[in-house]
Amino acid sequence: MTRAPLPDRAEVLTVLAHFHDRPPETVEEQLGSLELTWLIAEFEQRYGDLELPDEAVDAVRTVTDAVELLRGAVGPAGRGQP
């Protein structure tokens, strides 16, 4: 069984861009709580239920933070692999 590729920055920016119907290159580095909630919901639709500790989610402030969180959640050690 082939594993889905880990999410990268480009994918995260693309998902965030859809949130406000804008080009990915205009997404700011800082994330708001609604953007983060949207992002997590979108990735759970793609990868299944993600086990994200509240402390880890609360620490996300930037796109870079979100990429790291999501890569860890869907990676080999994460539970988000279909």
Which structural domain range is residue 69 located in? 9-74
pLDDT for the residue numbered 21? 96
The verdict on residue 15 lying in a domain is yes
The verdict on residue 4 lying in a domain is no
The verdict on residue 54 lying in a domain is yes
CATH of the domain at 67: 1.10.1200.10
Q: State the DSSP H helix or E strand holding residue 47, giving kind and residue range, or none if neither.
A: helix 33-47
Pick left, alpha or beta for residue 67 (phi over 0 → left; psi -120 to 50 → alpha; otherwise beta): alpha
State the Cα–Cα distance between residues 76 and 3, nearest whole angstrom: 9
Model pTM score: 0.86
pLDDT by residue for the chain (82 residues), tens digit each?
456 688 999 999 999 999 999 999 999 999 999 999 999 999 999 989 998 999 999 999 999 999 999 999 988 655 554 4
The verdict on residue 82 lying in a domain is no
Q: What is the CA radius of gyration of the chain?
A: 12
pLDDT for the residue numbered 81? 46
The verdict on residue 20 lying in a domain is yes
How many domains does one find in the chain? 1
Cα dihedral across residues 50, 22, 59, 34: positive or negative: negative
pLDDT for the residue numbered 75? 80
- DSSP bridge partners of 30: 62
